[in-house]
């Protein structure tokens, strides 16, 4: 990557935005210029990149002039407001919100799974939901060998999934309870400290919440098939950052356990972590601040000859959001796919 690129981060002061900044520095992305953008409320703050202080600017229509790549992580309404302006100015938008994920014109990309989909972008590439990213990275090596027919997922989602303010709320509520005081929920709908509750995204008429339906619809789009039957139950738990998922898989025929473990261990972006004697498997504290998704407790489903059970943990802010976006940017730079195409994914 000898060429260098002008990059902007929209939502630079948020939990994912600051992680994007850290990853661009850590991975030495080929930058020629970096611009930090936010709402007027956060404008004027200063963030550090490679030892240099950069002032955060309030986003305007003029912000995207001379920007090659916009990493957007400021929420769906903000992305809908500014994404097209960025594209019109010549930037490729890698969007971390749900605004464009199910748009048939917009690629939904996990680089370890469907990198070639990014080539067909028309100016916008969508970053999948955090739980979807973590699950698809872990399941793709199995699906390539024997197509998965059914997925049942139960997620245990950290406060980080609701943003930096929710993480702070977990801290303050925990201290309040330890001090014998009543926890006061402000960001999340219920107390999160020493508690858990079904995911707080809006419920649909079918009884599933938006978060659960994201896992269903996004996984099918990323895998390129509507044939997989998927059901999910998403739960918010009192963990600071990093999500966990219990996953049950059904195949057409039995899947050799040794082969499954071998495929997971060799897959990019995944590590197999199992200590059966010590009953020690992936935990959120193992993956917080780390890139890879950890997979463990791979076992035969006792109720189905062609079923497997596994447990995964991944950092929601990192691989579940910021890292995946930066990897997409790296892919565009490496392949020189920054110009929009009318090709079909």
Known catalytic residues are 130, 243
Residue 183 contacts by C-beta under 8 Å, 6 or more apart in sequence?
173, 176, 177, 191, 193
Is-contact 222 148, C-beta < 8 A? no
- What residues form DSSP beta bridges with 300? 308
DSSP class of 204: P
DSSP string, 26-78: HTT--EEEEEEEE-TTTTT-EEEETTEEEEPEEP-GGGGTT-SEEEE-S-HHH
Distance from C-alpha of 120 to C-alpha of 342, rounded to nearest angstrom = 7
Strand 148-157 with 92-95, pairing: unpaired
Contact status, residue 77 vs residue 17, Cβ threshold 8 Å: no
Phi and psi, residue 187, nearest 5°: -90, -50
Angle between helices 130-145 and 257-266 (to 10 degrees): 120
Q: Could you tell me which of 97, 111, 64 has the C-alpha nearest to residue 337? A: 111
Question: 196: Cβ–Cβ under 8 A, 6 or more apart, which residues?
Answer: 156, 235, 236, 237, 238
Q: CA 49, CA 53: separation in Å to the nearest integer?
A: 6
Q: How far apart are CA 184 and CA 129, in angstroms?
A: 28
**Residue holding tokens 């969007």?**
95
Strands (DSSP E) found in 91-205:
92-95, 124-126, 148-157, 197-198
H/E run at residue 288: none
């Amino acid at each position: 990557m000898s060429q260098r690129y002008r990059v902007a981060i929209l939502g630079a002061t948020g939990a994912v935005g600051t992680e994007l900044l850290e990853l661009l520095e850590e991975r030495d992305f080929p930058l020629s210029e970096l611009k930090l953008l936010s709402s007027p409320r956060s404008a004027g703050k200063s963030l550090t990149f490679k030892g240099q202080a950069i002032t955060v600017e309030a986003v305007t229509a003029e912000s995207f002039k001379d920007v090659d790549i916009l990493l957007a992580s400021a929420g769906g309404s903000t992305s809908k407001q500014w994404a097209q302006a960025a594209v019109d100015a010549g930037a490729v938008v890698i969007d971390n919100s749900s605004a464009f994920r199910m748009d048939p014109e917009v690629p939904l990309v996990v680089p370890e799974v469907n990198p070639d989909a990014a080539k067909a972008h028309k100016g916008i590439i969508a970053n999948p939901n955090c739980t979807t990213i973590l699950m698809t990275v872990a399941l793709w090596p199995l699906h390539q060998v024997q197509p998965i027919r059914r997925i049942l997922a139960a997620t245990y989602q950290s406060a980080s999934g609701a943003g930096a303010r929710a993480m702070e709320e977990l801290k303050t509520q925990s201290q309040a309870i330890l001090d014998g005081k009543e926890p006061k929920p402000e960001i999340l709908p219920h107390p999160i400290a020493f508690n858990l509750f079904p995911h707080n995204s809006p419920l649909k008429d079918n009884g599933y919440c938006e978060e659960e339906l994201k896992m269903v619809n996004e996984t099918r789009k990323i895998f390129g098939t509507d044939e997989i039957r998927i059901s999910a139950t998403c739960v918010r738990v009192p963990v600071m950052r990093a999500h966990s998922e219990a996953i049950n898989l059904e195949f057409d025929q039995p899947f050799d356990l040794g082969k499954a473990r071998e495929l997971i261990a060799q897959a990019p972006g995944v590590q197999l972590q199992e200590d059966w004697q010590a009953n020690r498997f992936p935990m959120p504290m193992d993956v917080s601040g780390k890139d890879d998704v950890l997979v463990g407790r791979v076992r035969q489903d006792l109720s189905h000859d062609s079923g497997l059970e596994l447990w995964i943990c991944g950092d929601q802010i990192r691989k579940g959001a910021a890292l995946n976006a930066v990897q997409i940017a790296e892919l565009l730079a490496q392949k020189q796919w920054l110009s929009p195409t009318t090709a079909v994914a």
